[in-house]
Chain A
Amino acid sequence: MAQAEILPGTLDLLILKAVSLGELHGYGVLLRIQQISGGALLIEQGALYPALYRLEHQGLLDTEWGTSDNNRRAKYYRLTAAGRKRLKEETESWNRLVLAMGTALKATP
């Protein structure tokens, strides 16, 4: 299946979405995004972390150290109330954009 590079600025939205489905560690976020996008999105793995740190710094994510499935110490991310609100706003604005782009691109002369 062909993979698409994600658009600039959409990584944050994807992370928020992934984390909204349940508490995840960094690697788990990557797996979850691949899973929910059906593996269609290509993510630079390292780029995930500056984004996670930024979202945490903005107060959209909460973190906690826990234990992973294979008994390793891992840092878990969870959506905060502010994060949930942001996700909702960003999703709506994304949908509007997609709709507008779709309409625009369907136009014929």
Chain B
Amino acid sequence: MASRLGRLWRAVRHRSTFERDLDDELRFHLEARAADLERAGLPAADARRRARLEFGNPEAYQDRCRRSRQLHLLDDLIGDLRYAARSLRKDRLLSATILVTLALGIGATTATFSIFHAVLLRPLPFRDPERLMFVSAGGGRGDQLGRAFAPDFVEWRDGCRSCEEMAAWSGTWPTNISGGGEPDRVRVGHVTDRFFATLGFQPILGRGLPPDEEGRAFFGASASNVPRSIVLGYGLWQRRFGGDPGVLGRVIDVEGDPCTIVGVMPAGFTFPSEADAWIPTALGNTRGNAFLLVLTRLRDGATVAQAGAELSAIAARLGRTFPKTNKDLGVALVPLHEQMVGQVRRSLATLLGAVGFVLLIACANVASLLLAHAATRPREMAIRATLGAGRMRIVRQLLTESLLLAIAGGILGVLVASWLIATLLPAIPEAVPRLNAVTIDGPVLVFALVTSIGAGLLFGCAPLWRMLTGDLTSPLRGSTTSPVRGAARDRLRQTLVVAEIALALVLLIGAGLLFRSFVRLRTAPLGFEPARTLVASVTLPEVSYPTTADARRFYERALGRAAALPGVEAAGLVNALPLASSGARIRGDLKVEGRAVPEGAGWANKLVVGGDYFRAMGIPLVRGRSIDERDSAADGIAVSATLARRLFPNGDAIGKRLNIGFTSGPWREIAGIVGDVRQDEISAAPVRAVYQPYELVTDNRRWLLADVTFVLRTASDPERTIEALRAALREIDPALPLYDVSVMDRVVDRRISDPKFYASVAGGFSALALLLAAAGIHGLIACGVAQRTHEIGIRMALGATASGVRRMIVGEGMFLTSAGVVLGLASAWGLTRLLRSWVYEVTVTDPATFAALSAAVLVVALAACYVPARRATGIDPSRALRQE
């Protein structure tokens, strides 16, 4: 069998050689025969004629030779394709409708797959990425990685035998750099020395970071006169230094500290978080803050379980040695890829499933159109059958037509997909990683091709089924259209339309739930008033503002100037803007003077505020007086309402004293209680918070004041105040850049951009699905009306009223629609549970959503049926009856 296929394949490939050889061989025969005859005494011309006569018809024999090689299959295929193309050209409107339907379905599917592929299937750009693991301290909570204490990281690194390399980083921070050009703000990753080696990367220039260098601490200062090291990213090297290979050894200023350039990384390396450059992170030897994210490369041959067991043993030992900080603090290994894309995998897989529904509806529509088309040419098929075309031959012909359509639709679909990607990509949330890798490449094209062929086989089944279950030649014996069996009573097409309606309704309900959830998020009580609020951040360099007092002086002057700007109603500052992605996030336990706090009750966000922060942000004062009134002598702090209730259930919070320091600090009196604020997440309940005025920050806590955001409530348009604020601050310190300038509305919007994106994509898919389903039911009813002209004519001649006929036709359509809606509701009931973790304050079986969207489907279907029904009543009975 295989060798025969091989011969066939060779014959197909060497088709022209085959034909030439065949010609040569037959000609040789004729000439040799003629020569023999001539030798026997015939004249040359007679000999040739005689030879030809004896041979028979060479054309026929050549054809039989080809057939013995099964080459006719190829000829048949080409014939089929030509025939199919001709037949599709003949009905241009039908073909165009089918192609548009397929292009939309395949295009949407391919675009979604290209995102899915780039984000989830393509390997990470690191060496042997499957051996890279995050080491999550405490096992992590939910999707968050647990951060590790620096001394723990050192213990793990030195104690884990299954780990080839281990590195950590504390974060990537926006940083001012200068030297070698204009001052610039770049993203600097704070990493440990083996960071690059762990990921399997080498600098293209110089070396990596030196071991055991004390870098810039995450918090606070460490004044050292020795310049520290910095490694540049390729982009920064090109942009700022023009790709100069002599850049090594040069010293640049990083946040006012001199740093020596010791290396340049290759293009494309920007881990973590799109870093432009990397400096060493200070490890320190305390277990005060767990600030390190830890990454390891497993040794060749070591299993995750082995490494996990070794690390857990170390963690258990540390737990015994340092029970205060490390008790029951486990450790877990999380594959890098899983961590980077785990959160979006389900979202994207669900989207891919949703778009698969759209494609199914498109296929059902095309199948229905092809059935309608086949109904118009039963005679053609019958004639072909009578003329001797075998059943298989006609099957092949029909399949060829379907596949031709599918592949043409697929090519258009790829164009649609590339357009969609170009349009949609900028709208995709930042939370989806690795988006820069989305392109239409080989695997995506293969996907599009396979999808097209699959779709072609799927919708091609319908006309085949019709043909194989019917009697091919009957149309030749009877009339072309039977008045009783019109297309609207065509079971197969009815079933397809019911399925389309059901699928569309499921998608609509899914999208509806996401949309409702988005609206809930949009209108969730934030605890502050984002409108008309300008925000802008500064970072005070340690060199020019070495002490807390320096920072305090700057803020006092800045707040004074900002509050006096025209159009500003209130000006304040905070070190962690609500719902912003950056900023300090400091949480910990509080102590209450004179009594013990129940476990966990004193856990709160600790914020530093200044000026009229609460007024500027629109946070209501619940009780007491505002600490805005800046009388630092009173030691006044504010607490959020929930914290006050939690710590002082009897409602006597005002006047009590708290300690909010990390270890110990002065007691501060509660002056006011303010409203709860959704500080970290819109979808999560407000986190309890304590606010201390910046004036009260003690001298050894300068780092609490290093990064702050100014908040300005304006009378009208906050954007108009930006330049005035910039100018005012420049007068105080011309070298200080203002960054992350925005309005609070935008900050909030970014937080809901993910749900918004998913809701709108799902909305787009379901709108497309509804459109296709409406087109499907419209096509079915219109076709039925066209084929039942005769019947309708008789009815009207017999006295049926126009509205009666309309009711009959619309009734048929609505019966099918209702069946689809019932089926769709049942499926949605089962399927929407997949969305449970996506929605906020909406139940996935929300009756209002289910009811409203069912109604929407019914209304759209009603409109789609009414159009052909109206046309039906325009039928003139006498003309209709003559039509036969």
Contacts and interface: CB of A to CB of B under 8 A. Distances in A.
Tell me whether A and B are bound partners. Answer: yes
Contacts of B93: none
A10 to B, nearest CB: 17
A49 B28 contact: no
Contacts of B68: 50-51, 53-54, 57
A46 B21 contact: no
Contacts of B26: 46, 49
Interface in B234-272: none
Given A45-B33, A46-B60, A49-B61, A26 B69 contact: no
B58 A26 contact: no
A25 interface: yes
B286 interface: no
Interface residues of B, number: 28
Contact of A25 (B28, B61, B62, B69): B28
Given A74-B28, A75-B21, A44 B56 contact: yes
A83 to B, nearest CB: 14
Contacts of B58: 46
Interface string B770-807: 00000000000000000000000000000000000000
What is the interface of chain B mostly: helix, strand, loop, or mixed? Answer: helix
Contact of B67 (A26, A50, A72, A75): A50
Nearest to B63: A50
Interface in A30-65: 30, 44-47, 49-51, 53-54, 57-59, 65
A45 B7 contact: no
A53 B70 CA distance: 11
B69 A46 contact: no
A30 B33 CA distance: 10
A3 interface: no
Contacts of B24: 73, 75
A95 interface: no
A94 interface: no
B65 A50 contact: yes
A57 B69 contact: yes
A70 interface: yes
Interface in B734-771: none
Contacts of A47: 56, 61
Interface in B1-54: 3-4, 7, 21-22, 24-26, 28-29, 31-33, 35, 54
A46 B22 CA distance: 12
B465 interface: no
Contacts of B7: 57, 59
Given A49-B61, A50-B67, A57-B4, A73 B28 contact: yes
A72 B24 CA distance: 10
Nearest to B7: A57
Contact of A49 (B4, B32, B65): B65
Contacts of B32: 27, 68, 70, 72
B394 to A, nearest CB: 27
Given A27-B33, A50-B64, A53-B65, A68 B55 contact: no
B3 A59 contact: yes
A45 B68 CA distance: 17
Contacts of B69: 53, 57
Contact of B4 (A27, A50, A59, A72): A59
B25 A26 contact: yes
Nearest to A25: B28
A50 B69 CA distance: 9
A5 B148 CA distance: 97
B57 interface: yes
Contact of A68 (B28, B54, B70): B28
Contact of B35 (A26, A30, A70): A70
Interface in A1-43: 25-27, 30
Nearest to A59: B3
B9 to A, nearest CB: 12
Contacts of B57: 46
A84 B645 CA distance: 102
Contact of A45 (B22, B55, B62, B64): B55
Contacts of B61: 46-47, 49-50
A26 B4 contact: no
Contacts of B54: 45
A11 B289 CA distance: 95
15 contacts: A25-B28, A26-B25, A26-B28, A45-B56, A46-B55, A47-B56, A49-B65, A50-B67, A53-B65, A54-B68, A57-B4, A57-B7, A57-B68, A68-B28, A72-B28
Interface of A: 25-27, 30, 44-47, 49-51, 53-54, 57-59, 65, 68, 70, 72-75
Interface of B: 3-4, 7, 21-22, 24-26, 28-29, 31-33, 35, 54-58, 60-62, 64-65, 67-70
